[in-house]
């Protein structure tokens, strides 16, 4: 089975999220540490820190620690999941239904609403249809297989960017457009790397499969 995108395509920073996350997470954690220190100091009736220099030292060290550690751990977990999906490891991959004959696959995320609702998995492409299968690490309520058929009536286009809340607007300065798949009775949007160029590739492939 052929992967339509190489694993390296998923490591490209398109949105600016990973560049901003260390600063925001570090700042929030540093401020939280300062607040907790002040609260406990008042409860114990002792002066918090050692004046302003102590507070700044706590803020900077806490912010630096979490700003570096949290994004690194988070990204490492995401990369491990992608490597598992790409390698089709049994601990993460949920295979398509047995009655499906598929020749191609692409790692992606299904977006049902805002960006927080994204469900990671794999789209399998065959001569008759496409099917999206969430991976095993998703919540049980988000593991429903989505069948998109028939391939002959499947429309492929660019979709709108997923909705973002205020914090996500700060963290994601360049939101990705979605890849929209539409078939009789349904429509779904997916996040894939370089969606516009992948749209052309997927359109060419589906035309070939229909012939």
Q: Which domains does the chain have, with CATH numbers?
A: 2-10+94-210 (2.30.29.30), 14-86 (no CATH)
- 7/20 Cα distance (integer angstroms): 23
pLDDT of residue 57: 63
Q: What is the CA radius of gyration of the chain?
A: 22
DSSP for 61-79?
HHHHHHHHHHHHHHHHHHH
Helix pair angle (17-43, 52-86), 10° resolution: 140
pLDDT per position as a tens digit, 49-103:
455 555 566 666 666 776 777 788 888 999 999 999 999 999 999 888 887 789 9
pLDDT of residue 18: 79
Nearest partner of 188 among 131, 110, 117, 120, judged by Cα: 110
For residues 168 and 118, the answer to whether their CB atoms sit within 8 Å is no
| Residue 36: pLDDT over 80 | no
Q: What pTM was estimated for this model as a whole? A: 0.80
| Residue 137: pLDDT over 80 | yes
Q: Is 51 left (phi over 0), alpha (psi -120 to 50) or beta?
A: left
């Amino acid at each position: 089975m052929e992967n339509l995108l190489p694993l390296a395509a998923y490591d490209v920073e398109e949105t600016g999220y990973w560049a901003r996350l260390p600063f925001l997470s570090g700042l929030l954690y540093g401020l939280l540490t300062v607040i907790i220190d002040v609260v406990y100091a008042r409860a114990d009736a002792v002066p918090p820190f050692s004046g302003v220099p102590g507070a700044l030292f706590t803020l900077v060290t806490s912010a630096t620690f979490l700003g570096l550690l949290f994004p690194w751990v988070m990204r490492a977990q995401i990369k491990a999941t992608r490597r598992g999906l790409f390698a089709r490891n049994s601990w993460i991959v949920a295979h398509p239904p047995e009655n499906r004959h598929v020749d191609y696959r692409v790692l992606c995320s299904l977006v049902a609403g805002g960006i927080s609702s994204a469900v990671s998995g794999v789209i399998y492409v065959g001569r008759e249809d496409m099917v999206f299968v969430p991976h095993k690490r998703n919540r049980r309520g988000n593991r429903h297989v989505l069948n998109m058929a028939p391939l002959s009536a499947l429309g492929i286009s660019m979709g709108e960017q997923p909705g973002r809340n205020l914090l996500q607007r700060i963290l994601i300065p360049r939101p990705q457009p979605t890849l929209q798949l539409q078939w009789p009775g349904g429509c779904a949007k997916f996040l894939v790397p370089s969606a516009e160029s992948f749209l052309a590739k997927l359109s060419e492939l589906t035309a070939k499969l229909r012939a």
